Amino acid sequence: MPAGRLGGRVGHVTFWVAIWTLALGGLLYLLLPTLIIVVASFTAGEYITFPPQGLSLRWFTRLMALAEVRVSAWRSLIVATAATAVAVVLGVAAAFPLVRGRFAGREALNAFLMSPLILPSLVYGLAALMFVSAIGLPLSVPVLVLSHVAIIVPYVIRTTAASLALLDPHLEEAARSLGANAWKTFLRVILPNLLPGIATGAAFAFISSFDNLTVSLFLAGPRVETLPIRLFAMINFDFDPAAAAISAVLVLITFAVVLLAHWAVGLTRVIRL
C-alpha cells in the first residue's frame, strides 16, 4: 500500500477514534452524577454516601411511609399533567401562525414565545410572583399550573412547528379536493402528521414541569408543595438518604416519559404508513 494512502487511512481512523472518545467522555461526564445518586439511593447506611454502605431498599420503602412525599408527588403529577395538556393545546395553535403566517412582527412574536427558554428561571419566578400579587390572586394549584404552562409551552411550539414545516402542503390540497372541510383535513391529515412533534414536545414539557423547582418555589405557596420542593427541603434541612431515593424515582419517571414519547412517535409513524 502506498505510504500516502496508508497515512490517510491512519489519519481517518485517528480522527474517528478522537471523535468517539470525546463523545463518550462527554456522555459519561453528563451521566455520572445521575448514576452516582441512583446507586447511592440503595445504601443501607443512615447517610448518603458513595460508594453505598451495603445495598438495601429500605429508603424506597420509607418513601411509601412518608405522607408528605406521597402528597407532594401526587400534586406534582397533577400539575405536570394539567400544564402539559394546556401547553399542547396552546403550542399546537401557536405553531400554525408562526410557520404559515405572513404578517408583520412574526419573528418578534416567535422570540417572545420562546423567551421563557432564555430568561433565567429566578427572574421569571420573581416576575410571575409580582404579577400574581399585583392582580390579587392567591397562590394555589391553578396559579402554579398556569405558571408552568408559560415555561413549557415553547417546547411544544418548537417541536410542532418543526413537524408542520416538514408537512407537504399538497396533502392538504388533495384532502380538500376530495371534499374534506377544514376540520376533517386537520383531524385526518394534518394532526396525524404532527403527532410525532407534539408527542416529543409534550414529553419535554411534562418532564420540565414535573421537575421544576425554581418557579415552584416562588408560586407554590405553603400548602402547595410539589415533589421537587419536598426534595429540596429534605436536602436543605436533613441530608436524608430518602432524598436520594426520591432522586432515583425522578430519574425513573423521566426515563419512562422519554421511552413513552419514543414509543408514541414510532406508533404514529406506523399508523401513517
| CB-side neighbour CA atoms (13 Å) of 74 | 8
Residue 164: C-alpha distances to residues 12, 87, 99 (Å): 39, 17, 7
H/E element holding 73? helix 67-100
Please check whether residue 169 is in contact with residue 177, taking contact to mean a CB–CB distance below 8 angstroms. Answer: no
Residues in the chain: 273
Q: CA 191 to CA 196: how far, in whole Å?
A: 10
Residue 180 is assigned to a structural domain of this protein: yes
Question: Which pTM value belongs to this model?
Answer: 0.78
Residue 22 is assigned to a structural domain of this protein: no
Residue 123 lies in domain? 59-272
Please check whether residue 135 is in contact with residue 215, taking contact to mean a CB–CB distance below 8 angstroms. Answer: no
Q: Output the nine-digit C-alpha cell for 253.
A: 419517571
Q: Is the dihedral of CA 205, 209, 210, 213 positive or negative?
A: positive
Q: Within the chain, which residues score under 50 in pLDDT?
A: 1, 3, 6, 270-271, 273
Helices (H), 101-190: 106-118, 121-134, 141-166, 169-177, 182-185
55 beta partners? 43
Residue 155 is assigned to a structural domain of this protein: yes
Residue 235 is assigned to a structural domain of this protein: yes
Residue with cell 418578534: 108
Q: CA 73 to CA 79: how far, in whole Å?
A: 10
Q: Output the nine-digit C-alpha cell for 111.
A: 422570540
Structural domains of the chain, count: 1
Q: 126-157, pLDDT tens digit by residue?
A: 888 888 888 888 888 888 898 899 889 999 99
pLDDT score of 83: 93
Q: CA 124 to CA 52: how far, in whole Å?
A: 38
Residue 18 is assigned to a structural domain of this protein: no
Here the CATH number for the domain that contains residue 179 is 1.10.3720.10
pLDDT score of 88: 92
Backbone angles phi, psi at 67, to 5 degrees: -65, -35
Q: Which amino acid is at 271?
A: I
Residue with cell 404578517: 103
3-state secondary structure of 273: coil
43 beta partners? 55
Residue 99 is assigned to a structural domain of this protein: yes
Q: 229-253, pLDDT tens digit by residue?
A: 887 777 776 667 777 777 777 788 8
Question: How many other C-beta atoms can be found within 10 angstroms of the C-beta atom of residue 63?
Answer: 17
Residue 123 is assigned to a structural domain of this protein: yes
Q: What letter does residue 189 receive in the DSSP assignment?
A: I
Q: CA 246 to CA 238: how far, in whole Å?
A: 14
Non-local (6+) Cβ contacts of 248 within 8 A are 37, 38, 41, 60
Residue 229 is assigned to a structural domain of this protein: yes
